[in-house]
Chains A and B, each alone.
Chain A
Amino acid sequence: MLELIFFNVTNGLIVGAFYALMAIGLSLILNLSGVINFAHGGFLVIGGYLAYVLTPYIGFWGALIVSPLLTAMIGIAVEWLLIRRLYGRDPLYGLLLTFGLAFIIEDGTRQIWGANGLPVSVPAALMSSLSSRFFFITGYRMFMVATVAIVVALLFVLLRYTRVGVRIRAGTLDLETVAALGVNVRALRSFNFAVGIFLAGLAGVLAGGQLGLEPTMGDGLLMPSFIAIIVGGVGSLTGTLVGGLLIGVAAGLTAVVFPSASDAVMYVIMAIVLLVRPRGLFGEEGMLA
């Protein structure tokens, strides 16, 4: 029993790391631009499909880098054309616009690549398990965790030590002053959005190797991301990271005793957090009321 719990906690951390990757991208966009990106799952799907298209030409590792970049470029185009006009407006509009965008992306991917799932193969080097006992820790999942860890670390370095990173962080607290100080806020927002979408695209590539690649695969990953943000605290990336891991572990533990509830447990956690400590675990009071 103890071993079962230990396995599930470890497994939960692996799953949680993936949720965290999605959620951090979403959080970045939410913090600076005030837009709830309902289309985040759609960008994940785009990332996955682009990787599928690119892999025969540049291999899995090439696709891992290039696909998120391409997705980020699409993200910039979307931001420039559509999302930019919504800044400063009621968050309802951002939600609705991205809601509509999600429809378009799902239909578009279905139109281009068909409704049926596509098989994505993962390089053989990553296929084997760590050991017979720890069979669920496959090379691929370790690679996924490693990727998430590296990317998150790079992100924190970016935000803490580079000029643009500091500006982004300042912008989440007080965008008006940052603009008044002469920073090109438009470019900053675009860049921020691109980074968020890059993370979504990367999540898509990783997901493709683990799950079946099909047009609706982003839907199931969107809600956990929202919840990770709420639980961790809006405005805090560390919080989002912790939130994602927490949800993953909670779902894993619940699967041991009460499997049918493993889906619902994250909503329960969110409801509790919202009622008891509405700012979230690491959030600041007053962020987005």
Chain B
Amino acid sequence: MIEKLAGFTLDRRTFVKAGGIAALSQVAAPFIITARGETAFKIGVDEPLTGTYAAPGKNEVLGCQIAVDELNAKNGILGRKIEMLTEDSTSGDAGTAVQKARKLIERDNVNLLVGNVNSALSQAMAQVSNEKGVMHIVPGGHTDPITGTDCKWNVFRVCNTTRMEANAVCSLLFKTYGKKWHFITPDYAFGHTLFQGCEADLKKLGGTVTGNELTPLGTTDFSAYLIKARAANPDVLVVLVQGNDMVNCLKQISQFGIDKQIHVAGTQQELEAVEAMPPQARVGVWMFEWYWKQAPGTPGLDAFIATVRKRTGGKVPTARHWFGYVTVHSYALACEKAKSTEGKTVAKALGGLELPPEVKLQPNKVYFREGDHQLMLSAFVGELLQKGDGDPENLFKVNSIVSGDSIAPTVEETGCKMQMPS
């Protein structure tokens, strides 16, 4: 009887074991990749596709993809087609981002590494790309050290530094609204450096900081901080939090009616966040790193907007799309200029490269500064609109477009001491 039971059990076990092996082999099979074409140019994109930064991440990836498609339609780079490989870096797991970077570099032999939105992940990836000597462009990570104290010969950055953002708005705010400012700052490295930049500018202009509320990342309820801000009676409430924190904070500011008593402003603002806010929350003076609605006649702009609209089902491009777009096009231009794909040669060519009109999509001179590899992109300063002006997605009124090199600190001030490879 027991044998029979054991016999039955063994049979089921064997079946399950066999099934397990069959299932595993199904999973293993796709690993056996067919030989890749040797001549394709490979761009490895390591961006967040899940988690908090999924929205900006996906937009940056789309920007890259659009640029790749445009280049491939015109015979690629140096006559070779471009293949774009995308990996999910997750929104906060540096281990995964680094692992994917290694995968793209080691296994897939990419010529260019692109990433990230998250500053910390960008820096972690930069260490890997530097270790391996691969060209690396950071589209959307803002922390200053990337092109400052931690600058590297193979790393370039498209978006602003926190210092540039502070410099873009501060004098305007001081002149228009007053000298007593109260801050709501996200409590992590990005927030701290942003605050330091603003504080320095404010002090230089002769203003005072009435208080700085450090809010933990992911704070959903800002009421306690807003109570304190209100009690301090400042001229300007400077909101430095980003993403969902920004949405929640502005929502609550408008619900509490604070915007009716104190001027609301901030530095970086993004269309992704603005579109997530109810209309009443869209208040204040901000800067965008790039905005789609500009003076008519800006070369290449209409085509870019049309392409993005087609690929997103009607939505306009945001700064994030533009970052991805510039990243790939800049790299292509550098390779063409250097007539080579070798890392160090391309890096030398990219340093100092000026973007042509159909890539920069804005007035002002836009170029990669040679000393720190930071793109000198303009800041679009203006105010949020509660109702779309002409287009439901035109939610920001641009008052001035300030050129990048007028707001960027000098290379010495950033602390960048670029170590060129031997």
Contact = CB atoms under 8 A, between A and B. Distances in A.
Contacts of B40: none
A136 B226 contact: yes
B55 A115 contact: yes
A170 B256 CA distance: 45
Contact of B224 (A127, A138, A213, A256): A256
A118 interface: yes
A212 interface: yes
A283 interface: no
B276 A212 contact: yes
B257 A129 contact: yes
B275 interface: yes
Contacts of A221: 220
A220 interface: yes
Interface residues of B, number: 40
A238 interface: no
Interface string B200-217: 000000000000011110
Contacts of B279: 119, 121
B216 A262 contact: yes
Interface in A121-149: 121-122, 127-129, 132, 135-136, 138, 140
B375 to A, nearest CB: 25
Interface stretch (A7-15, A28-36, A153-161, A178-186): A7-15
A190 to B, nearest CB: 31
A210 interface: yes
A252 interface: yes
Nearest to A252: B224
A260 B219 CA distance: 11
Given A4-B231, A11-B227, A252-B224, A136 B276 contact: no
Contacts of B220: 207, 210-211, 217, 220-221
Q: Which one of B216, B218, B223, B280 has the highest number of Cβ atoms from chain A below 10 Å of its Cβ?
A: B223
Contact of B247 (A127, A135, A212): A212
Given A4-B231, A15-B223, A118 B256 contact: no
A176 interface: no
Given A117-B276, A120-B278, A110 B255 contact: no
Question: Interface extent on A, as a size class?
Answer: 35 or more
Interface stretch (B26-34, B46-54, B94-102, B303-311): B46-54
Contacts of B55: 114-117
A251 B226 CA distance: 14
B225 A255 contact: yes
A149 to B, nearest CB: 19
B244 A119 contact: no
A259 B258 contact: no
A116 B51 contact: no
Contacts of B273: 117
A8 B221 CA distance: 12
Contact of B256 (A110, A135, A219, A252): A135
Contact of B277 (A14, A212, A215): A212
Contacts of B219: 263
Contacts of A7: 227
A260 B191 CA distance: 13
Interface of A: 3-4, 7-8, 11-12, 14-15, 107, 110, 114-122, 127-129, 132, 135-136, 138, 140, 207, 210-217, 219-221, 251-252, 255-256, 259-260, 262-263
13 contacts: A7-B227, A114-B55, A117-B247, A119-B275, A120-B278, A207-B220, A212-B244, A212-B276, A255-B228, A256-B224, A259-B224, A260-B216, A262-B224
